[in-house]
Every structure is written in C-alpha cells, then in structure tokens.
Structure 1
Amino acid sequence: MKTLVLEEPGKFNYTDTPFDTTLQPDEALLKVHRIGICGTDYHAYSGNQPFFSYPRILGHELGVEVLEVGSAVDHVKVGDKCSVEPYQNAQLDHAVRRGFTNCGENISVFGVHQDGGMREYIKMPAKYLHKSATLDYDALALVEPLGIGCHAVNRARVQADDTVLVVGAGPIGLATVQFATATGARTVVMDVNEDRLKFAKTVLPIDGTVVAARDETLAQLRAQFDGDLPTVVFDATGNRHSMSKALEYAAPAGRIVFIGLFQGDFSFHDPYFHKKELTLMASRNALPSDFKQIIRMMEEGKIDTRAWITHRSSFENMVDEFERWLKPESQVIKAVVSL
C-alpha cells in the first residue's frame, strides 16, 4: 500500500506498507481519495506541533469511499462517500460521557496522535464516518476544517443581533466567518495580510475588513460597527499578541473565543477583564453534530467551498509541493491532495 510517512521534522518518505483488511464488527474499510493539508500538518513538518511524536502518517482532513463494512455497521454502506471525524476516544472518560467528544481527556486525533490518511487505505470505527449522497470528495475533505469554525460559532451561541469580529483570515478564520455570517450576525474580518482580506471579501459575504497592526486599528474597528465594539471576538491566529488584544476589541459583556493554539503562557490585565465583564472561552475540534450540520448546509448550497481550494497536488508529487506551500508567497488558503 502506498504510504507517505513523516519520519522526522522536515523529512517525508514514500514507502509501501502492509495493510490488514480484516475488520472488527464496528469498523469500515476505506479508500482515501482526498487529503486536505492543514496547519497541524505544516507545524508537524516544521517540528513545532505540540503533543506529537515521530514517525507519523499525517492526514486528518479526508474524503473517503467505503469499500467494506463490519457486521455491526448499518449507517454506511459500500460505495458511500464520507467525511472522517478524526477525534477518537477509546475511553469513556468524564468529558466523553457528558458528550464532549471533542476534548476527551484521552482523545486521540487521527493523523496527529495516531497514524492518519496519507495512504491508499485506512480502517476505523464506522461511527466516525459522515456520509453524503451528493457532495464530492473535495467538499468532504473540507468538512473537518469547517468543523473547527462551526464548533466555535456554536459554542459562542452567536445570534443574528450579535456583532462579530474574526481575527485571522486563514482557513480556520474563514471557516468561522462562514458560520458567523450564516447566523445573520454582522461580521468583520481582521488580519495583517491584506491579500487574505481581499480573498475573504471575494469568497464570503462579510460586512467589512480591518487591517491589524496599525495605530488606527481600534478606530477602524469601531467604524465597522457604527462606533461600537463587537459583542463576539474569535481569535484564530494562535498569536499571543493578537490574543491579548482581543480583550481590547470586545464590547462590554462580550464573549471572546480562542480557536488558535498558542504554545505558551497567556496573561491579561485582570481589572480590565472584570471591568467589561467579559466571557473567555476556548474552542477545540468539533462535535459529531457539527459534522452533520456542515454536510447539511453544504448539500443545501448554503456553503460553497470550491474557491477555498487554491492549490492541488497528486499524492506522488505532494512532497515537492509541500515545501512551496510553507512559503507565505505561495498564498495558500487550502491545499488538497488527490489519490
């Protein structure tokens, strides 16, 4: 079986690996057709992904075909096209028992903590498959990254009368924008990269943009909301300085949601936090219900991800392309690999 292994930071290796097709009653055998490349993959390649070990087969944004199912599987069948929910919990710990499968104490993310989908075939418990009768493999591979934004918006309970600022116009920020605008909330995007802001205005129905890292940033932000500050701020940068600014950007009684992960300690001025009576949240991964919501919205035409895929590669050529995708001048929004 053709397999691509990240042996160590900066070193991919194409190889043939044995594969046991024997299924447990609850499992499905899958053919991988599309692999989306995300920030986690880039970080792992660069050697700065937390909770990670080498060697590892990457790949958790997947569009797959069901080839065979175990005797106990009844919600998917041979030939179904599916998206993969990569957040697996072998233990029913306290969080999982309460329904928080996205942040179980013993969670194992497919393609991160365990070997993933950069290979021809995989098998897994079928409960992690979400099928669609109409979506193609490109769209199905993008359901997982959309799930990060979807979960964040659902967690913040954004309503139509909210005003929303999304900081960071990368894939996760854009996914967050997608679901914030779907609620009817007035939504503005902030980034230091003006090209990404232009892209956001082209592909999404946003209400405005703000260029960060300028003296007039706060004034620009208030101008977007008729003199007010946003009631909900999502930070998708994972940048400590950007995250600290979120307290300044949020309106009194507002909510702040950190989606991006910063590898270090984060602090803020507590009196300022209390003065505004802010609510601070983290958002991690996505829930099964988020996957179902996204697929339904995509099938209904409420989400169109075609413009998101800016770069493509075959599986055989991916290693050569990967180095280029890491460079800011490549202007990658989402790269997709075909098998």
Structure 2
Amino acid sequence: MTASPPRMPAVRTHGAGDARLEDAAAPHPRPGEVLIEVAFVGLCGSDYALFDGTHPHGGYPRVQGHEFSGTVVTSAPGAPPVGSAVVVDPVQSCGICEACVHGAPNACTSITVLGVQVDGALTSRVAVPAAQVHAVGELPLDVAALVEPLAVGVHTVRRARVSAGDRVVVVGAGPIGLAVTLACVDAGAEVLTIDRRRRRLELALRAGAQHVIDSKIDDVGAAVRAWSGPHSPRAVIDATGSPTAIRLAFDLVAHAGTVGIVGVSPREVRLPIVEFTRKELTVVGSRNSAGDDFPAAIRLLRRHQQEVSGWITARIPLAGVPGALARPKHERRAEVKTLVDVRA
C-alpha cells in the first residue's frame, strides 16, 4: 500500500475576505533548495491588502506570509547547515530583464514574492532556494522575523542616499516607517518622524528619532520648519502611501533634496510640475530589498535588538490568522507588528 503524502497545517486565502486554516501537502525540496521549519511570521500591511482584495499584485488561492524566521531542516550547497536559525529573502527574480541586468532584481518585471505570487510561510514548512536563506546566529527567532521589513527600510535609506549629518523627515511610523527611522539614525542622520498614533511615535523616539510630530494635533509644516531651522530636510521619506503626505514631502524637502516613496497605494498624487524643476529634486521609489540589504538588516538588528523587539505588539497562533486578517482596520490601529507563532 502506498503511504499517504505527509500533510501540514496552512492558512490559505481563497479570495477576498476568505482565509481558512486547512491541511496542505508538505513541501519536497528540489535540488538547490533548503527546507525550513517555520517559527514566526510577521503580518504585513500587504497581507491585509491581499486578504481584502486591494493588493495590486497578488492572486488567489494563496498561502500568505513573506516575513518569517525558522530553522533549517535539510540544507543545500551554499546554505546554512541543518539546525541553523535563519530568515529568508522572499524575492525571486528572473535575472535577465532590464531591471535585473542593471542591478535591481527587487524591481524585476517577472518578480515572484513568497506569500504574494507564490505560496509563503503561513504554514509549518517551506522550501526555498539556498541563495535566499540567511543565518541569524544567536538572534531570537521572534525578533529575527522582522529582518524582512528592516531590509525594506535599509533599501529605502540607501535609495535616498541618506548619510551622516543629514536631516531627514520620515512620514509614517508603522513597521516600515520605524525601520526607515532606525536605518537613518544608524547612518548618522538626524530624524523627525510623523505619525497619528502616540504609541508609534514613542517607538520612533526609542529608535533614535530626535523629534516626533503627532499629525492629528500639530501643524506639521510649521513643526518641521521649527525643527529644521534655516536648513530644510535634505530628504523626506514617505512610508504611508498617502497622497496628502507625499504632496507635503515636496513642500518640506530642501532644494536639491530627495523625496523617497516606499508607501504603497493605488491612489494618485497631483503635483505642479514646477516643483520638480524649481527645487531640482530627486524623487525615488523603493520596493522590496536587494543586494546586501538582508545581511545589512541582520547587522542592524544585532545592534538594535532591544528597540526592534518593542515593535512586536501582538502574538497569535496559526489558527488565529483568519480572524486577525478579518479585523476591521480601526481595530488594528493600536498595533505595530503582529507575529504568528506557527509552532503554538
């Protein structure tokens, strides 16, 4: 009698508003792949967007989850050995398109991201290419699950070319905004962070922001100008995707400065063209991470583990994911990062 193939639990989103805990086939790693036992998965804004049907790139059915940590079960050449604590870069690129050839695989025209275009980590085990696996050493696996959003923050700061002594405004103090804040501070910049939630602003201060602004009660433009004095911020980075916030960035940034946009939204921004030439601005988008961003994020986490651990505001078991994804947005506003403990 042929043995039944091994099964494991997984949360699969079958369509907008329809996520279910179910049995799934256990993965069988192909040559060059590493089998990982998943430990913790961070729920990201894009996970909520895929669940509610507003994600611009995802499809159904899909096992979500792209921010995660785990332990190597079976290894492959070039990968950490069995038993290693690891994180995974979820981005896979084609290697031959114009973006890939010019060193931007994170913007690949045929990109696949675990948990978005292909099944991800909201399950017990995943098999991934060896090149995407990074050892984290003694870092706790729960905090290590935040390496992926940290890598996004590192990439954004590199795109904006932030350096020591720069004054930078970060709009938004969710996980990505906090990652950008931390990466800017670590680079030696002076940072002001803006958000509407006091708890997130407190975390921004813990990450090293010199000043914060509560956009619900403060005149943001006046407060930024009072902070920056006669020299406007050299960079303003938006981590919200809000058209209003992005428009404000163009007003606040210094002449010959940089506006960075890492926030995602299907909405449109309207700008007078004269703003591009009058200030001779550099405007950069930022997507995913690439190159040394993941190793750099691991090093950043080692230097600031205590600060980053405070971003974890809720922990749930795998069975709690469908309910967590279905919560209305106003119920999630007090949280920063929800971690799924797959082993619970």
Equivalent residues of 2:94, 2:111 under 8 A apart? yes
| Matching residue of 2:243 | 240
- Structure 1, residues 193-235: CA drift from partner, whole Å, max 9, x if none? 344323322x221111123366832111111112432110000
Q: Report the CA distance shift for 1:144/1:189 in structure 2 as closer, same or farther (over 3 A).
A: same
Matching of residues 228-307 of structure 1 within 5 Å? 228-301=231-304, 304-307=307-310
- Deviation at 1:134? 1.1
Distance 2:88 2:210 in 1: 32
Distance 1:16 1:108 in 2: 24
Distance 1:273 1:262 in 2: 21
Q: Report the CA distance shift for 1:200/1:325 in structure 2 as closer, same or farther (over 3 A).
A: farther
Give the secondary-structure state (helix, strand or coil) at the position aligned to 1:245: helix
Distance 1:265 1:301 in 2: 36
- Structure 1, residues 36-71: CA drift from partner, whole Å, max 9, x if none? 00000011112111022111110000101110024x
| Matching residue of 1:29 | 35
Q: What is the aligned-residue RMSD (CA, Å)? A: 1.8
Could you tell which deviates more after superposition, 43-52 or 33-42?
Answer: 43-52
Give the secondary-structure state (helix, strand or coil) at the position aligned to 2:231: coil
Aligned with 1:133 (options 137, 148, 154)? 137
- Deviation at 1:129? 0.5
| Matching residue of 2:162 | 158
Distance 2:82 2:199 in 1: 43
Distance 1:329 1:17 in 2: 29
Give the secondary-structure state (helix, strand or coil) at the position aligned to 1:79: coil
| Matching residue of 2:58 | 52
- Deviation at 1:156? 1.3
Equivalent residues of 2:314, 2:338 under 8 A apart? yes
Equivalent residues of 2:207, 2:307 under 8 A apart? no
Distance 2:26 2:218 in 1: 57
| 2:8 paired with 1:4 | no
- Deviation at 1:328? 4.1
Aligned with 1:327 (options 326, 330, 336)? 330
Number of matched residues? 335
Give the secondary-structure state (helix, strand or coil) at the position aligned to 1:272: helix
TM-score (norm 1): 0.93
Equivalent residues of 2:78, 2:131 under 8 A apart? no
- Deviation at 1:325? 7.3
- Deviation at 1:140? 1.9
Could you tell which deviates more after superposition, 328-337 or 249-258?
Answer: 328-337
Distance 2:328 2:202 in 1: 19
Equivalent residues of 2:153, 2:177 under 8 A apart? yes
| 2:79 paired with 1:75 | yes
Equivalent residues of 2:234, 2:257 under 8 A apart? yes
Aligned with 2:114 (options 110, 113, 128)? 110
| 2:45 paired with 1:42 | no
Structure 2: stretches of 5+ with no match in the other structure: 1-7
The letter of the residue matching 2:225 is: R
TM-score (norm 2): 0.92
Q: Report the CA distance shift for 1:173/1:286 in structure 2 as closer, same or farther (over 3 A).
A: same
- Deviation at 1:147? 1.1
- Deviation at 1:293? 0.8
- Deviation at 1:300? 4.1
Aligned with 1:148 (options 147, 152, 155)? 152
Equivalent residues of 1:85, 1:288 under 8 A apart? no
Q: Report the CA distance shift for 1:101/1:122 in structure 2 as closer, same or farther (over 3 A).
A: same
State percent identity of aligned pairs.
32
The letter of the residue matching 1:124 is: V
Q: Moved runs in structure 1, 4+ residues, more than 6 A?
A: none
- Deviation at 1:91? 4.5
Give the secondary-structure state (helix, strand or coil) at the position aligned to 1:123: strand
Q: Report the CA distance shift for 1:302/1:122 in structure 2 as closer, same or farther (over 3 A).
A: closer
Give the secondary-structure state (helix, strand or coil) at the position aligned to 1:295: helix
Equivalent residues of 1:8, 1:45 under 8 A apart? yes
Distance 1:303 1:16 in 2: 36
- Deviation at 1:324? 4.0
Equivalent residues of 1:325, 1:332 under 8 A apart? no
- Deviation at 1:240? 1.2
Equivalent residues of 1:297, 1:303 under 8 A apart? no
The letter of the residue matching 2:153 is: G
Give the secondary-structure state (helix, strand or coil) at the position aligned to 2:319: coil
The letter of the residue matching 1:272 is: E
The letter of the residue matching 2:41 is: I
| Matching residue of 1:314 | 317
